[in-house]
Structure 1
Amino acid sequence: MKTKILLLLCSFLLLSMQCDDNDPDIPEFTLEQKNKEIIDYINSFSCSETAGCGFIGFGSKPCGGPRTYLLFSNGVDIVKLKQMVATYNEMDQENNIKTGAISDCMMRLPPTEVKCVNGVCTIIK
């Protein structure tokens, strides 16, 4: 919930800083839009016992490290997903710098076990 609120606030800040002389051929993505694009992409794949699941660090905490971890079916195009997440993470880090964001600086540990449970990737441990 805190992440969604932070993303919404960041989106409003980014929108308020936009210039009118942007190249119309280059789409501007807010953090919220990029987040939705990534989640929609991940959700377009369901997991199975054979495909399995994975996870990837998502977001950039001001003190370093990911804000959270996204779970995904191993059926995704992992190269595409990594590129999408890397772009999002860079945007988040830039926003942290621009806004002087602060955080609790606690390190988020990755899951140790992720499995497909009833067609949904789930953290076991």
Structure 2
Amino acid sequence: MKKLTFIACLLLLCIFSCEKNETPQEQDLAKLQELKSKIITLAENKTCEESSHWNFTPIGNKACGGPKEYIAYSNKIEVSKFLKLVEKYTKAEKTYNIKWGIVSDCSVPKQPSAVVCTDGSPTFQY
């Protein structure tokens, strides 16, 4: 009876743990998304009231190389911490792209010339 109970417990443990497992690629992607979410939270932490208090930086890594996009941020946040997170994310995405053989369209996002405030939100001027 103890043997049967032990086997049943092992079977249940396997069933429940196997259903929750993500693939290694999904785990890597989830880490990337979590880091980007932190970056976006920091970037959106301030209301855009004065355009001169805002700047932008490239973020992410396209599989062909170069930035995936640009992100606006206020100069009133901890800029060095923010830029270090952006750099960490960009390097992590490059590693992810190489590791998982990710491909992209190789288009180059247009670099903004400035950030302007529109209804309290930063928008790019080209």
TM bucket, shorter chain: 0.7 to 0.9
**Moved runs in structure 1, 4+ residues, more than 2 A?**
none
Partner of 1:32: 33
Structure 2: unaligned runs, 5 residues or longer: 1-22
**Which stretch of the first structure deviates more once superposed, 64-73 or 105-114?**
105-114
Report the CA distance shift for 1:33/1:12 in structure 2 as closer, same or farther (over 3 A): farther
Which whole-Å deviations, capped at 9, do the CAs of 1:66-92 have from their partners, x for residues lacking one?
101111222222111110000000110
Partner of 2:107: 106
Unpaired runs of at least 5, structure 1: 1-10, 17-28
Mapping of residues 1-125 of structure 1, within 5 Å: 13-15=25-27, 30-49=31-50, 51-125=52-126
User: Does the aligned pair in 2 maintain the 1:114–1:122 contact within 8 Å?
Assistant: yes
More helix by share: 2
Tell which structure's C-alpha radius of gyration is larger.
2
* RMSD of aligned residue pairs (Cα, Å): 2.3
In structure 1, how many angstroms separate the alpha carbons of the residues matched to 2:119 and 2:107? Answer: 32
Q: Secondary structure at the match of 1:72?
A: strand
Task: Number of aligned residue pairs: give it.
Answer: 104
What TM-score, normalized by structure 2, do the two folds share?
A: 0.73
Which secondary structure does the structure 2 equivalent of 1:30 belong to? helix
What is the rounded CA distance, in whole Å, between the counterparts of 1:69 and 1:88 in structure 2?
Answer: 13
After TM superposition, give the deviation of residue 52 of structure 1 in Å: 2.6
